[in-house]
Every structure is written in C-alpha cells, then in structure tokens.
Amino acid sequence: MRKLETKTIVVASHNAGKIKEIQDLIGPFGFTAKSAAELNFVEPDETGTTFEENATIKALASAEASGLPALSDDSGLVIDALGGDPGVYTANWAETPDGTRDFAMAMDKVERALEKAGASEPRQRTSRFVSVLCLAWPDGHTELFRGEVDGTVVWPPRGSQGFGYDPVFQPEGYETTFGEMSAEQKHGWKPGDAQALSHRARAFKIFVETCLEA
C-alpha cells in the first residue's frame, strides 16, 4: 500500500453532495482540496460495471488532469429484491431527458419496482449502500477502499438532509433514515472513533488507516 505524502489533493467528483461529504471527512486532516467541478475538468464516461471500476476511472482522470493525487467515490444503493439494482446505475435512475438528475423521481422509480416485485414488508426490502473510494496518483498507481452499510428501503421518503436516496434508506439498528440524520450523525467519523456509520465514512476510515496513518 502506498502512503499519501501530500496534503494537496483533488476530490474527483462533480456531485455537490459527495464533494461536501468528502470535504467534511478530509477536513480534520488538514488537506487542501479542490473538486473536479471547481477545476472545470470534463466528467469522464463511467463505463465500468463495478463500483471499483468507475471509482478508478474518475480518480485517474482527475489525477492525470491535475498532476496531483485524486480521491474519487463511486457509490450506490443495492436492493436485494431488485437483483442488486440500481447498483452501479444508481445515478442513472435519476436522469431526466434534459440531462439533469431528479432523485425524487428516482426514489419513486425504486418504490414502483419494489411494488412490482411484491416487496411490501420490511424484511423483503433489505438493501445496502456501497461506497468505493479510489485514491489515484498521476503515475497511474491506485488504491481502493470499500465501505458498506446494511439497511431497509422505506416508503414514503423521510427527511430533507443528505442527498440522493438518503430519505428512503434506513440503516440497520436505527429508526431514522439517512435523510433525517444530521451530517455529523451520518458521516461524522473522525480519528479515534471505533465505528463509522455511512458507507462513505466506512470507506474513508479504511483509507485513513491504510494511506494516512503511520
């Protein structure tokens, strides 16, 4: 495993919600970070069929464009009753004809698919959020870190915090959805904490233990 020696990196994302969560997580470590969106980098085509492949595509694109290490995230909602969908196509389910993303529409699409599958009881609506972080260097070296959190898809959506599908995902052991949690509750992991809740925070914890800690 390669250690990250610099405190200047690029957050390889154009997703405002992801950028904020990653910046919240890396903030306590003293990083100077700009996003691919801020730097006006072209979004690469995510042609992979796994979270790992797509995270790698994004991180390498930003590392090559900037000449700096780049940290990307590819994440999604995996629903058992839907055969793992939307999975790596989680963002695609929110795409509209005009090229924007409507996650209220996407959550409704998920609910209709679950109804069609006959998944009406909580035990039939098991799911997990998956996040894969990729740290890439300009020389092409990459490191991958995967985090998952199990839960249940609920309906109707609850809460206006977070982003994406957060209002319909209730993590295991909690009575509230990600959409009802504060940023601190959802992904406020920091060094010394034994546990991290969100999928992204769990992946980040592994990143810290692998690439930052001595």
Percent of the chain with pLDDT over 70: 100
Distances (CA, A) of 185 to 48, 75, 94, 108: 31, 19, 25, 25
Whether the pLDDT of residue 14 is over 90: the answer is yes
Q: Indicate whether 60 belongs to any domain.
A: yes
Non-local (6+) Cβ contacts of 21 within 8 A are 183, 187, 198, 200
pLDDT digit string, tens, across residues 162-199? 899 999 999 999 999 999 999 899 988 887 788 899 99
Q: How far is Cα 170 from Cα 152, in angstroms, rounded to an integer?
A: 5
Q: How far is Cα 24 from Cα 186, in angstroms, rounded to an integer?
A: 11
Using only C-alpha atoms, the chain has a radius of gyration, in whole angstroms, of: 17
Q: Indicate whether 95 belongs to any domain.
A: yes
pLDDT digit string, tens, across residues 116-160? 999 999 999 999 999 999 999 999 999 999 999 999 999 999 999
- Domain residue limits at 131: 8-212
Domains in the chain, number: 1
Average pLDDT of span 189-210: 90
Q: What is the pLDDT of residue 189?
A: 87
**144 CB burial (10 A radius; 0-12, 13-18, 19+):** buried
Q: Indicate whether 1 belongs to any domain.
A: no
pLDDT digit string, tens, across residues 18-60? 998 898 889 888 888 899 999 999 999 999 999 999 999 999 9
Q: How far is Cα 133 from Cα 102, in angstroms, rounded to an integer?
A: 24
Q: Indicate whether 3 belongs to any domain.
A: no
Q: How far is Cα 2 from Cα 142, in angstroms, rounded to an integer?
A: 9
Q: What is the pLDDT of residue 213?
A: 76
Q: Indicate whether 129 belongs to any domain.
A: yes
Q: Which of 45, 74, 98, 139 is catalytic?
A: 74
My answer on whether omega of the bond before 156 falls inside 30° of 0, hence cis, is yes
Whether the pLDDT of residue 16 is over 60: the answer is yes
214 confidence band (pLDDT: 50, 70, 90): low
Q: Indicate whether 194 belongs to any domain.
A: yes
Q: Indicate whether 67 belongs to any domain.
A: yes
Q: Indicate whether 198 belongs to any domain.
A: yes
pLDDT digit string, tens, across residues 80-117? 999 999 999 999 999 999 989 999 999 999 999 999 99
Please indicate, yes or no, whether the overall pTM of this predicted structure exceeds 0.85. Answer: yes
Q: How far is Cα 178 from Cα 119, in angstroms, rounded to an integer?
A: 21
The domain that holds 102 is classified in CATH as 3.90.950.10
24 is catalytic: no
Query: How high does pLDDT run on average in the chain?
Result: 94
